[in-house]
Chains A and B, each alone.
Chain A
Amino acid sequence: MRLNFLLAMAWRESRAAHRRMILLVAAVAIGVAALVAINSFTRNLLAAIDRQGQALLGADIRFSSRAPASPRLEALIDTIADETLTVLCQRGECGLAPNDIVAHRTDFDAMAYVPRTEGTRFARVNAVEGPYPFYGKIVTSPAGEWERLTGGRRAIVDPALLTSLAASIGDTLVLGEGSFEIIAAIEDIPGAAGVSSAFTPRVFISAQWLEATKLITFGSRVSYRTYLRLADEAAAEPIADEYGPLLRPDRIRIWTAKRDREEMLEDLDQLGRYLGLVALIALLLGGLGVASAVNVFVKQKRETIAVLRCLGATSRQVFATYLTQAIGIGLAGSFVGVALGLAIQHVIPLVVGDFLPVDVEIRPSAAAIGIGMATGLWVATIFALLPLLDVRRVTPLAAIRAPYEEVTSKRRDPWRWVVSLALAASVVFLAVAQAPSRMEGVGFAVGIGVTLGVLWLAAFLLAKGLKRFFPRRWPYVYRQGLANLYRPANQTVPLVLALGFGTFLLSTLFLIQANLLRQLRFDSGVDRPNLVMFDIQPDQIDPIRTTLDSLGYPLREAVPLVPMRVQAINGHQVLSGAMRDTVTGDTIPDMTNWAFRREYRSTYRDSMMPTEILLDGAWWDDLPDQPTGDGHFAVSLEKDIAEELGVGLDDRITWNVQGLPVDTRVTSIREVDWAQFEPNFFAVFEPAALRGAPHMFVTLTRVEDARMRGRIQRILVERFPNVSSVDLGLLQRTIDRIVGSMIMAIRFMALFSLVTGAVVLIGAVATSRFQRVREGVLLKTLGGTRNQIMRVLLTEYLALGSLSALVAVGLSSVAGWAITRFVFESDFTIPVPQLAGLTAALIGVTVIVGLWNSTEVFRATPLEVLRAE
């Protein structure tokens, strides 16, 4: 094979079709750009996290618990500290005391209040003791204030808190019964994403003033953390491995900087991979565009190919010439895509900024560039290969007359099967390589295959159906428009695939977003509560009721809350993560789930709530005797937690309620609608079981006016500093913002698919441009007006756009339902007006792009075209 000839012919052949080549290069480039942008950015992000080292945790190792440090933990920390100090001294760092390498942080939620502005906000208090953090730097504004935090009653807060309280540096911040001067706002904390403080902005204070706030009372959810600096980061893992199981019964969790980093790397790598999958769709769409263009190209080149064969070109030479051209398109598309992708990765922080735990230094990633180049080149080549196979079968006889028959049926060409299989395998391989797991990759590839299959079938049926049931009585212009959909060398199938797939993606994302937000929309409805108050002590409930009554806002029923843990199930002792048989002493494995470890906040009541459905068993009233006859009280479990705990009706659960065992028997299983913002519970007890237990209350009310809600929060925080309240309207806006940010990130990646879809559409129109111009001119010669020609094209694009959009929206409804139902486990409804609007918009875009690209058809004069022929 003469390489020079191949290259020369490939280049010469492409000269006359620059516009088409540019479109094909663009179709490949957009997908490659998306892939390179997300992959390069993810690699930069992962490298940034890796570089942070121990700064993400702020220490080498962390011990955390819901209770203050037990004597066993204190003794362990002392031992580790002593050993560390010895090693450090051996290395020349003598003179350090335990306080230099041990720090504590106590975290809890409370109401933050600024008297000057009368602003209140539910916040996360972090009370710090010791030289925290040991690694990394908490950057403040004004700079350098972190070091001054422990020097007095000072607070450093999230900027979001300053904004929501209309406060500024220097203001007094009230936390419970303690007052603090706000000395700075936090600019950067290593390892914390912006979104992490969206619901509860952070307030840092010195732990020495914790007592003064009087906020840690019965029922407070407090996290006690101890941070240690070790002589060597590598020493952390053996400590975690050795002491983790020993401390588990005390419900103490050990966390190392390495684990923190690895978990974060894994999470972000997964996120990057998911977004990369969306990018891959754009590239595959580009591949489809290449395939459809090559298909038409080969048909148009039949005569040229036949002449080349007459002149002595072998089928391999001709095939290699056009394959070289396809490879050239792939290469050019990949080059342009890489350049674009490297530029676009600078935009990604603007889209996903809320979720970034560290600052990312954006630089080109060699691996991402390599993967982008290889993927772009491969996709363009493998997609072009299938239609290019026909080049080999063009008979030289076609140069002198139309052949009477096809040499051999396409079906009999074994290479078609080989290439088709290679194409399918490529899609699966690319998906598996990009997806977080093999199964997800295969599922993704199958999903793409099914979607494209349905779209292809719809296009095929449209063409066939039109031919069979052609509306012969319609006016000519409409008949001509419809007939264009099944004429020789038509673009119906590739157009429906490209448009339909882009629409499918967009519409699925829209449906998921709409359904998720609907599920999380709890402040709507005229009688729904929108102000929730909790951590109310028993002696505070009546004064709060009186206060709110006087303002004209009656409280809903106060719901009692009793903190507890699972102690034993059917006699088996639960050891925080594992169960031990009380008789044999054997540990029963495979019970290491969260349901055994967590603290339950349960309630007791006489009746069921409207948000609950009884699935199995009977409510207290319907039980034969009470308690259950064997010294056990009745308890009703939510179905999912019952499943997690592996219990059913009649199983026995012993609960640890403030150190006292309460024996219960499961008498009913409920389904709970968690999406309704009502006080819902995993475990509901019959009143007799818990009435005497120490408890606190949660209650709700509805206050129409947002400013009034703010005022009530202020009154509550002034009179009852330990009581927390949350404005659900504010919470709703935060949820909207976070869900919106997540969807925006996905939508940003999906945008590439839409743009590719539009490029493929333009390319398809350009491919048949000459044929259309010729037809248009012929119509003009025969007396057709521009208006009539426009109506022909309008009919064609309207039919194409409608079919693509309707099939895609139908498919996306199924996909949206499946994802909402099985991934997010919530109800699915179709927002009909919005979806109809989206469908109409997509049809509109198809028609506009189609007509815009056909301007030459209106413009060309008959003489121009006839002369050109």
Chain B
Amino acid sequence: MLRCESLSRTYQSGGKPLTVLKDITFSVGAGEFVAVVGPSGSGKSTLLGLLAGLDLPSAGKVYLDGQDLSGLSEDARAILRGEKVGFVFQSFQLIPTLTARENVQVPLELRGLESSDRAASLLERVGLGDRGHHYPAQLSGGEQQRVALARAFTNDPKVLFADEPTGNLDATTGHTIIDLMVELNRAYGTTLVLVTHDPELAQMARRTIRLRDGAVVEDSAA
């Protein structure tokens, strides 16, 4: 489902080259649940960005569902994301001007598909069936992340990327979110790539890829 080969990413920072990822190769099978762990600054988010086609590598290739991302334009990658990728962010990243339901509808609306029923059922599924008309500012952190989860599954993605999804939540709420995510992952057969620096959270994955200073130092199955 997801494969990266000799992936490197170097940025120009303050006029000097800064290598964030070095020669990374691995693949993730369909329906797999992988945790990418590592300390702050180890390149986790950059790797997630490259895997999801948010950015292009300086060297190497990424294949998502068999499609080479490096051969696609930025907009083609966006369209691919709209069809095959779901996202859950640390800071929820709901669009503040949209209601919970409208937020959930966005991925399908972008593709011109009917979204209303799907949004309602997903909100129901994450336990927010009656909060669809609320704006993000009117929801608690946990509720916002549940809306984000519902949004991530709206387009029935093949791969779900979660970037520190519990980072802004207390432990109890965090657990609820992870349980929900794993449940949806199972229900929809989605491939789940979870970026975290929380070892406890990483243990829930069936496979852990550990990064340090931009390189894979461990790739182990549970």
Contacts and interface: CB of A to CB of B under 8 A. Distances in A.
Interface of A: 2, 4-5, 8-9, 12-13, 15-17, 303-304, 307-317, 395-397, 399-401, 404-405, 868
B11 A313 contact: no
B19 to A, nearest CB: 11
A315 B83 CA distance: 16
Interface in B96-121: 96-98, 102, 106-107, 109-112
A480 to B, nearest CB: 28
A311 to B, nearest CB: 5
Contact of B106 (A308, A399, A401, A404): A308
Interface in B1-48: 11-13, 18, 20, 45-46, 48
Interface centre among B75, B95, B102 (most CB of A within 10 A): B95
Contact of B109 (A2, A303, A307): A2
Contacts of A405: 11-13
Contacts of B109: 2, 4-5, 8-9
Given A5-B112, A399-B87, A16 B54 contact: no
B42 to A, nearest CB: 13
Interface in B150-209: 151, 155, 163
Contact of A404 (B18, B82, B107, B151): B18
Closest 6 CB pairs of A and B: A312-B82, A404-B11, A314-B75, A2-B112, A16-B97, A396-B54
Given A310-B52, A310-B54, A311-B106, A400 B45 contact: yes
Given A304-B97, A400-B54, A314 B79 contact: yes
B75 A315 contact: yes
A562 B157 CA distance: 102
A7 to B, nearest CB: 11
B211 interface: no
B81 A310 contact: yes
A312 B48 contact: no
A748 B102 CA distance: 47
DSSP class of B's interface residues: helix, strand, loop or mixed? mixed
B96 A315 contact: no
Given A311-B151, A399-B87, A317 B97 contact: no
B74 interface: yes
Given A12-B98, A310-B54, A399 B75 contact: no
A401 B40 CA distance: 12
A401 B97 contact: no
A312 B81 contact: yes
10 contacts: A9-B109, A12-B98, A16-B97, A310-B54, A312-B85, A317-B110, A397-B55, A401-B49, A404-B18, A405-B12
Interface of B: 11-13, 18, 20, 45-46, 48-49, 52, 54-55, 74-75, 78-83, 85, 87, 89-90, 93-98, 102, 106-107, 109-112, 135, 137, 151, 155, 163
A315 B74 contact: yes
Contact of A311 (B49, B110, B112): B110
Nearest to B155: A312
DSSP class of A's interface residues: helix, strand, loop or mixed? helix
Contacts, number: 101
A9 B18 CA distance: 38
Contacts of B82: 311-313
B97 A12 contact: yes
Contacts of A316: 75
B96 A309 contact: no
Contacts of B102: 12
A397 B11 CA distance: 13
Contacts of B111: 2, 312
A93 B112 CA distance: 77
Interface centre among A4, A314, A868 (most CB of B within 10 A): A314
Given A5-B112, A405-B13, A313 B78 contact: yes
Nearest to B20: A404
A308 B87 CA distance: 11
Contact of A868 (B79, B85, B112, B137): B137
A118 to B, nearest CB: 78
B48 A400 contact: yes
Interface centre among A312, A315, A868 (most CB of B within 10 A): A312
Given A397-B54, A868-B137, A304 B96 contact: yes
A5 B110 contact: yes
Interface centre among B55, B75, B110 (most CB of A within 10 A): B110
B213 to A, nearest CB: 16
Given A12-B97, A310-B87, 5 more contacts: A13-B97, A307-B89, A307-B93, A307-B94, A312-B82
Given A5-B112, A399-B87, A311 B107 contact: yes
A316 B79 CA distance: 11
Contacts of B90: 400
B87 A311 contact: yes
A9 B99 CA distance: 12
Contacts of A399: 54, 87, 89, 93
Given A311-B151, A313-B82, A399-B87, A15 B97 contact: yes
A547 B18 CA distance: 103
Given A2-B109, A315-B78, A316-B75, A308 B48 contact: no
A431 B193 CA distance: 58
Nearest to B94: A307
Nearest to B10: A404
Nearest to B87: A310
Nearest to B164: A400
A558 B108 CA distance: 96
Interface centre among B52, B78, B155 (most CB of A within 10 A): B78
Nearest to A317: B110
A405 B58 CA distance: 14
Nearest to B135: A16
B138 to A, nearest CB: 11
A399 B83 CA distance: 19
Given A304-B97, A315-B74, A2 B110 contact: yes
A577 B160 CA distance: 90
Nearest to B151: A311
A399 B78 CA distance: 14
Contact of A395 (B18, B52, B54, B83): B54
